[in-house]
Amino acid sequence: MKQIAIFSSGSGTNAENIIKYFSESDLAKVAIVMCNNPEAGVVDRCHKLGVRCLVFTPGQLEDGFVLSKLHDCRTDLIVLAGFLKKIPASILEEFEDRVVNIHPSLLPDYGGPGMYGMHIHEAVVENEEEETGITIHYVSEGYDEGEIIFQEAVEVDYEDSPEDVQYKVQQLEHKHYPEVIEYIIRDL
């Protein structure tokens, strides 16, 4: 049984979706959720789902504490689900090609520092884009620069608000992220 560690900073809808997807799996399970924000909704979601959630400080992400907890859980794959901090090089080296992220745009468009969540959807609407979507990619040391694993597009209608775009993108995230994670895990 492969062990997944999810990193999340926010409400945790993607984390919950992934936890539920693998709850009946013989292939993998979510062993732990790591969170850098004690006020994040993902903490309550984990409690309700019976999944261990470890809240850590910025220093603990850098000083080896988080890395040691990943080893304790025998982590095979790290999945970022709305995690807003940069992953240290020490973790990326230890888990080479085993750290994945989902980004709510079609990278390389709308990627990089400061481009997350509603900031992206607002920019998509402001720029009158005809489509947007999701990108699932390996994590590298540069923001949103890792090798692309999967992309899926969705149309943006001229009357769509940023909230409408967010909803459409979240539907893609919830449908495809667990499936792509499963595909990756099968090759580990």
pLDDT value of residue 96: 95
Mean pLDDT of 164-182: 97
pLDDT value of residue 44: 97
pLDDT value of residue 11: 94
Residue 121 a catalytic site member: no
Mean pLDDT of 138-156: 96
pLDDT value of residue 105: 98
Q: Give me the domains of the chain, ranges plus CATH numbers.
A: 2-186 (3.40.50.170)
pLDDT band at 129 (very low <50, low <70, confident <90, very high): very high
Mean pLDDT of 107-135: 96
pLDDT band at 79 (very low <50, low <70, confident <90, very high): very high
pLDDT value of residue 47: 96
Mean pLDDT rounded to a whole number for the chain? 96
Closest CA to 149 of 140, 161, 159, 158: 140
Q: Which of 103, 121, 174, 176 is catalytic?
A: 103
79, 100 in Cβ contact below 8 A? yes
pLDDT value of residue 186: 95
3 state DSSP class of 184? helix
List Cα–Cα distances, 64 to 55, 59, 101, 165, in angstroms. 14, 9, 21, 38
DSSP string, 56-122: --HHHHHSSHHHHHHHHTT-SEEEESS--SPPPHHHHHHTTT-EEEEESS-TTTT-STT--HHHHHH
91, 84 in Cβ contact below 8 A? no
**The pTM of the whole model exceeds 0.85:** yes
Share of the chain above pLDDT 90, in %: 97
